[in-house]
Chains A and B, each alone.
Chain A
Amino acid sequence: MYTIDYLSHTADIRLQLRADSREELFRAGFEAMNQIIRPDACRKPCPCLINQTIELNSVDNTTLLIDFLSDVLTLAHEHKAVFCELNFQEIGASHLRASIGGRPANGFEEDIKAVTYHEANVHQNAEGQWETFLIFDI
């Protein structure tokens, strides 16, 4: 279970993500990014013609999330594709291994230049929920 809330930002897109687990929080970021670059692309089940693996080591949960989403974004641009499927083989505080599957996209609706580290802070709140802010440079 996760939630994605859109907050105000003068030039870019600011979100607040909340989830029951670290894995779900990462999934929320993945879904939010898809909603921005091509809102309807993942509505139908994916005949995933483009499959990629992402393996990452980062210094902490926060950089791991931003680096993961940055890698997905890079692959989306490189393959001109939207990645709808996400499966984590491993995910910890500073390491993950995931496979993503997607389909070619004829252009994107929004140009996300980058997933920024600004205000990002992956942590568990007093209720045990995982949460962070996320700002996309548009």
Chain B
Amino acid sequence: MIVTLITITNIIITFVIIIFVTDSFLSRLGNQNIMSINKKQLTQLQDYLWELPKETRPDMLVPARVYALEELLDAILNDRSLEQLVNVATLPGIVKASMVMPDVHEGYGFPIGGVAATRYPDGAISPGGIGYDINCGVRLLISDLSYNKIKGRIEELSKEMYRQIPSGMGKGGFIQLSAKKMEEVLRKGAAWAVEEGYGDPLGLEYTESNGCLPEADPSKVSEQAKKRGRDQLGTIGSGNHFVEVGRVEKVFDEAAAEAYGLKPDQVTILIHTGSRGLGHQVATDYLRIMMSAMPKYGIQPPDRELASVPFSSPEGQDYYRAMCAAANFAWCNREVISWECRKAWSNVFGKAGGKLRLLYDVAHNIAKVEEHVVDGEKMKVIVHRKGATRAFGPHFSEFPEAFRHIGQPVLIPGSMGTSSYVLAGTDESMASSFGSTCHGAGRRLSRRGAKKQVDAAQLLRELKKRGIHIQAGSHRGVAEEAPIAYKDVNLVVETVHQAGIAKKVVRLRPLGVVKG
């Protein structure tokens, strides 16, 4: 009788505890931490670096740092970027600081422009720290021609590129991947395109991680994700993705420019896109898995989009291997788009056009296992870059010999109609920002706000007057991506240059833009 009563009491106590824990977990997620950050809370460490101390909120594990010249700070404080940065500082196993680059803006979970490193192997991996567009990134092709040789033919080239490169939402490409070919793409990345005759074998060396993360496991990618990606190789999609013809307008660092093969007035092609629907589905699938798995690891994020699990856990390893596969898909996608660009280039200029060579390809939405010095000690960490670019300094063994002594090329697209930059990675970025820097100009106006303020037809006429031809699928897309919707890319780049987390090499001026 007594034993039965004790057993019943134990069952009731256990039941009450389960209800309490589950309820507390869900209500915490429901009441996501929304607090307002103001300038007074920021401590200025340098002209370009600000800090929110660890004491800003009790659940922060590290301070939060903001790279920004003062001119950019007001725009940053205008949205919820810094509240989101504080949330990132609670990520289990985070080391040193959560950081944002000067192009930061509000996202969901992580702010866009965010960098966070967690302890390897038991620190968190969070799909929200990578984003839905896994390995969204940029590559730059450089030509043998100078601007004078193609002046007057920009519109013709843009139209031909628009014909060759499928763009816009829901538009498939010319490659239909069988299940077997899809497995190969997910394993091999950019090398698959080269093997199939859609790529330049010399280009692989000029791609971050050589265009392939070997940890990729296609079996960790859902059938739905594979279905979505089946016809999407060689497509740029819509939104802020584009292909841009430009020219080298100004050289800041002659030695670095020479090592990169860049010279004044040279014509270039910048490509910005990612892993398309395949990557979006991988992130969606694993966020759902992590949402259920988190209580098992005692993880209670302040925002559901910061869902995470330990990197070393089965769920963490499955996500990482699927993410690597999606990253490989993105590198393959940009390689095929390069092939389409080369086709368009050749159709317009023939043999006189010469070759389009890859300068470099960088990811700006990714997580990588890297070695960095933290508190004076070299350690392996899981670096999350969401809207941030790797910017490794000189002498990294992965770099081609031609510019190993200079550091990694860092590609920073501006907004449509404004300059883009080629920067070089530095030792300082290795020391202070986990080898990371900014990734673009950074939005400052919402899409709806931009559409209210911009007359797309008038903008197209103005850009034309300035010698910039826009070949776009819709006027709506043009208005959303108007230069007014973005911060001043020159200020963003000036910040990272002054901070030393990348140095200016050349500035590019747009000539023709192809958009979905």
Contacts and interface: CB of A to CB of B under 8 A. Distances in A.
A118 B168 contact: no
Interface in B283-326: 283-284, 287-288, 291-292, 303-305, 307
A109 B32 CA distance: 31
A121 B112 CA distance: 22
A63 B30 contact: no
A13 B447 contact: yes
A12 to B, nearest CB: 7
Contacts of A108: 169-170
A78 B169 contact: no
Given A67-B288, A70-B284, A137-B132, A78 B26 contact: no
A117 B291 contact: yes
Contacts of B168: 107
B307 to A, nearest CB: 7
Contacts of A54: none
Contact of B291 (A9, A59, A114, A115): A59
Nearest to A135: B108
Interface stretch (B336-344, B425-433, B438-446): B438-446
B169 A123 contact: no
B291 A63 contact: yes
Q: SS class of chain B's interface: helix, strand, loop or mixed?
A: mixed
Interface residues of A, number: 39
Given A78-B224, A105-B170, A123-B30, A113 B132 contact: yes
B464 interface: no
A110 interface: yes
A74 B446 contact: no
Contact of B445 (A10, A67, A74, A109): A10
Interface residues of B, number: 50
- Between A13, A67, A113, A137, the greatest number of chain B beta carbons within 10 A of the residue's beta carbon is seen for A113
A1 interface: no
B107 A12 contact: yes
A116 B307 CA distance: 11
Interface in A1-51: 6, 8-13, 37
A95 interface: no
B492 to A, nearest CB: 15
Contacts of A62: 29-30, 304
B106 A74 contact: no
B253 to A, nearest CB: 32
Contacts of A97: none
B180 interface: no
B395 interface: no
A116 B109 contact: yes
Contact of B280 (A9, A107, A114, A123): A114
Contacts of A55: none
B32 A121 contact: yes
Contact of A11 (B288, B304, B446, B476): B446
A31 B32 CA distance: 25
Given A77-B281, A109-B169, A119-B34, 20 more contacts: A6-B448, A10-B106, A10-B446, A11-B105, A11-B106, A11-B107, A58-B291, A62-B304, A63-B288, A70-B288, A74-B281, A78-B224, A78-B228, A111-B237, A113-B133, A114-B283, A117-B108, A117-B307, A120-B304, A138-B239
28 contacts: A9-B79, A10-B81, A11-B106, A12-B107, A37-B169, A59-B292, A62-B29, A63-B304, A67-B288, A74-B228, A77-B170, A77-B277, A80-B170, A109-B474, A110-B238, A111-B169, A114-B283, A115-B284, A117-B108, A117-B287, A118-B32, A119-B34, A119-B108, A120-B304, A121-B31, A121-B32, A137-B132, A138-B447
